[in-house]
Amino acid sequence: MPRKTNDDNLGRDKKTLTSGIMGVFYENPNKEFNYKQISTKLGYTEPSSRTLINQILCELTKAGTLKEASRGKFKLKAKSGKVVGTLEITKTGNAFVTSEELSEDIFVSFKNLNSAFDGDTVKVSLYARKSSNRLEGEVVEVIRRARTQFVGTIRTAGHYSFMIPDSQKVMYDILIPSDRLMGAKEDQKVLVEIEEWPNGRQNPVGKVIEVLGEAGDNNTEMHAILAEYGLPAKFSEDIEREANRIKFEITDYDLKTREDFRNAPTFTIDPADAKDFDDALSFEKLDNGNYRIGVHIADVTHYMRENTPLDDEAFNRATSVYLVDRTVPMLPERLCNFLCSLRPNEDKFCFSAVFEMNDKAEVLSFKPMKTIISSDRRFAYEEAQEIIETGKGDFAEEILKLNELAKILRSARFQKGAFNFEHKEVKFVLDDDARQQSD
Amino acid sequence: MPVNNLIEEFMLLANRNVAELIGKKHKPFVYRVHAEPNYDKLSNFSTFISQFGYSIDMSNSISLSNSLNGLVNDVKGKPEQNIIENLAVRAMAKAVYSTKNIGHYGLAFDFYTHFTSPIRRYPDVMTHRLLYAYMRSQTPDVEDLELKCKHCSFKEQQAVLAERSSIKYKQAEFLQDKIGDVFDGVISGVQEYGFFVELKESACEGLVHVRTLMDDNYEFFAEEYCLQGIETGKIYRLGDEVKVRISDVNLEKKQIDMELAD
């Protein structure tokens, strides 16, 4: 009876053949093979099959997956079957490692995580590829921790206290020795730093950094969410003090170097409950029939100088955070609600984008400039909307023209292929003033 | 056109012109960039929406965005609106900050930056400093600028996740005293361990675990976004309307468990 070979299936699926070849290398990460040995291992005997296998070997070498260790002999390029990559834990508790060394993600079962956490950079040892064809391995070393602080609830059992992590992606409860509880009690939410992971132990050991409050209390839970994502809840006293020391003054130098827009019709349009007005529009008709339109932006960097603790803090925050029931601002109140808030009838410094535009909304000139402005009027969205719809009200002429120009700009954008995704994340409304960022 | 679009247009205009002014001079700058969509994901998406009778045209980027804009209009108010919008957004890349300008795909701009909100975004602060230095012919400090961009992109993501998490908390709180109640929902996600259902009125999302599906053993088909009963052939697919009963709420974990209520 002739020996059954795999040649019949050949060529139907180069992909399958390629993963078969890779399987041989992963099973023997330190060995070298030539195309004949590979062909034999995979059960291909026909010369045509062998030619294709040789061709695939060359392609894999070119792609950097294999290397030609000696003439005609190939070897896995990743050192000794170990690859370095980023761990991503799924909701089931199992994980995948993405590595630049491999085109395919490596599956790591929960029991083989070996104390690695979601987001960690890990070294994975690859297993022999099974028939399922899924590349699998186990974590042998955590190279870099993505984070060391976690949020969860304290549970005490006898002499032991554990922190049960909030995140489903943290697979281990954290043991807290009684001298590292910092007074945290049963059912309290805490921020914990992992300090050690003794060999062979089931759980990492950590200490409480901050007691956030009673679990299930709204305020505690919101703080817990911020801590979970590495976001601060409030400014330190030092930063507040530094911000409060910033003076509001208009010097002769400022007046000399800044373009004066105080006489131009200027207004802000924001949601009714907005506190920080960081942009204003000015609109003037020029003698040549065109328009001068100013987009005035609060001049934050006039007040917040580089390499100050305040600037460092703002950089660390990088953004204001809008939780469902509160805002954590990037800047202290002194700046966002006062110095840099373009409130009506107050002289304010701006960094402005100034355009000359015609009736077709074509930009004839554009110039950025530092300015001083004074907003004449603050409009809530609803008020401005009414002016657009009725054609009547303060600055009706200016607002109507701006609206006309905006419409032209908008349709031009869509014609050029812009998306119109005003995607609402979730429609859950309480007293939700969360802002949406579509750009 | 709502008035917030008026403001949006002028902000986009300012951001775009600032980016273009510096970008064309090839000086180091902070861009807000948005890569092209992942076409594998888009073709999966295209296959999925075809069962609702929708289609998109992927032949070029303008027809793609036109057909996507049309799709967004067509699904408005339909039960499948959220699922389709969510999947569309997931097929798109995320906009990030970078010193390497690749343009903004979603806005169809070759140059784009963030200039208009320095009170609430640090990249705008960087943009202001760079632009002002260039206006005065100074050489700004651009050391680690790309790293700073990466940091800002990361923080932006964390802020979005925190916002979502706070919404999930409020949803769990809302349903806490409604255990046993029955609601109309739409399947909003399918995994091997079960499927997620978004309630129609409150948009709260919970999990129907496979172990609660007693009538059969179910098989998971990732590419078809569905679970199928091995014996009965019964299918639970993304976008299907279902009635569910709230079976458990864990406020601390922000988890809502549901069961089918048919």
Q: Given a cut of 80, is residue A5 above it in pLDDT?
A: no
Do B162 and A330 count as a contact with CB atoms less than 8 A apart? no
Q: CA dihedral in degrees (B49, B54, B57, B63; nearest 10)?
A: -120
Question: Distance between CA atoms of B162 and A230, rounded to whole angstroms?
Answer: 9
List the beta bridge partners of residue A344: A375
Determine contact: B58 vs chain A, CB below 8 A: no
List the beta bridge partners of residue A233: none
Task: Determine the average pLDDT of the residues in A295-307.
Answer: 97
Q: Given a cut of 70, is residue B209 above it in pLDDT?
A: yes
B16-69: pLDDT as tens digits: 999 999 999 999 999 999 998 888 788 888 888 888 889 999 888 788 888 888
Question: Distance between CA atoms of A174 and A164, rounded to whole angstroms?
Answer: 7
Please name the residues between 69 and 98 in chain B that touch chain A, using a CB distance below 8 Å. Answer: 69, 72, 85-86, 88-89, 92, 95
| Interface with chain A: mutation pick from B59, B81, B170, highest number of A CBs within 10 Å | B170
For chain A, what is the total number of helices (H) and then of strands (E)?
11, 21
Residue A104: partners with Cβ closer than 8 Å, 6 or more residues away: A135
Task: Determine the average pLDDT of the residues in A403-426.
Answer: 80
Determine contact: B132 vs chain A, CB below 8 A: yes
Measured in degrees and rounded to the nearest 5, phi and psi for residue A323 equal: -80, 170
B148-206: pLDDT as tens digits: 999 999 999 999 999 999 999 999 999 999 999 999 999 999 998 999 999 988 889 99
Do A319 and B159 count as a contact with CB atoms less than 8 A apart? yes
> What is the DSSP-derived secondary structure letter of residue A374?
E
Amino acid identity, position A423: H
> What is the DSSP-derived secondary structure letter of residue A182?
T
Is residue A151 within 8 Å of residue A190, measured between CB atoms?
Answer: yes
Query: Nearest chain B Cα to A230, which residue?
Result: B158
Is residue B7 within 8 Å of residue A295, measured between CB atoms?
Answer: no
Q: Which residue from B3, B128, B162 is facing A301, i.e. has the nearest CB? A: B128
Is residue B258 within 8 Å of residue B211, measured between CB atoms?
Answer: no
Is residue A276 within 8 Å of residue B120, measured between CB atoms?
Answer: yes
Instruction: Give residue A19's pLDDT band: very low, low, confident or very high (50, 70, 90).
Output: confident
Please give the full DSSP string across A358-371, using - where no structure is assigned.
-TT--EEEEEEEEE
Can you tell me whether residue A260 is helix, strand or coil?
strand
Do A353 and B155 count as a contact with CB atoms less than 8 A apart? no
Is residue A350 within 8 Å of residue A298, measured between CB atoms?
Answer: yes
pLDDT over 70, % of chain A: 89
Determine contact: B231 vs chain A, CB below 8 A: no
Instruction: Give residue A421's pLDDT band: very low, low, confident or very high (50, 70, 90).
Output: low
Cα three-residue angle B196-B255-B242, rounded to 5 degrees: 30
pLDDT of residue A7: 55
Query: Nearest chain B Cα to A222, which residue?
Result: B166
Nearest chain A Cα distance for residue B4, angstroms? 7
Question: Distance between CA atoms of B119 and A317, rounded to whole angstroms?
Answer: 12
Write out the two tokens for B42. 């888009």
pTM: 0.80
Please give the full DSSP string across A19-88, using - where no structure is assigned.
HHHHHHHHHSTT--B-HHHHHHHHT--SHHHHHHHHHHHHHHHHTTSEEEEETTEEEESSGGGEEEEEEE
Question: Distance between CA atoms of B193 and B209, rounded to whole angstroms?
Answer: 6
Do A421 and B118 count as a contact with CB atoms less than 8 A apart? no
Is residue B18 within 8 Å of residue B31, measured between CB atoms?
Answer: no
Does residue A3 or residue A172 have the better pLDDT? A172
pLDDT of residue A36: 87
Question: A341 contacts in B (CB within 8 Å)?
Answer: 119
List the beta bridge partners of residue A296: A280, A352
| Interface with chain A: mutation pick from B87, B252, B257, highest number of A CBs within 10 Å | B252
Write out the two tokens for B154. 């990361």
Question: Distance between CA atoms of A43 and A25, rounded to whole angstroms?
Answer: 15
Q: Given a cut of 50, is residue A11 above it in pLDDT?
A: no
Please name the residues between 255 and 294 in chain A that touch chain B, using a CB distance below 8 Å. Answer: 269, 276, 278-279, 281, 293
Question: B64 contacts in A (CB within 8 Å)?
Answer: 417
Average pLDDT, chain A: 86
Cα three-residue angle B17-B1-B124, rounded to 5 degrees: 30
Question: Distance between CA atoms of A235 and A352, rounded to whole angstroms?
Answer: 29
Question: A412 contacts in B (CB within 8 Å)?
Answer: none
Residue with tokens 């400090």: B141
B77-106: pLDDT as tens digits: 887 887 888 888 888 888 999 999 999 999
Question: Distance between CA atoms of A281 and A12, rounded to whole angstroms?
Answer: 64
Please give the full DSSP string across A196-211, using - where no structure is assigned.
E--TT-SS-EEEEEEE
Do A330 and B2 count as a contact with CB atoms less than 8 A apart? no
Is residue A337 within 8 Å of residue A275, measured between CB atoms?
Answer: yes
Q: Given a cut of 90, is residue A71 above it in pLDDT?
A: no
Question: Distance between CA atoms of B259 and B251, rounded to whole angstroms?
Answer: 18
> What is the DSSP-derived secondary structure letter of residue A338?
I
Helix axes B122-135, A309-317, angle to 10 degrees: 130
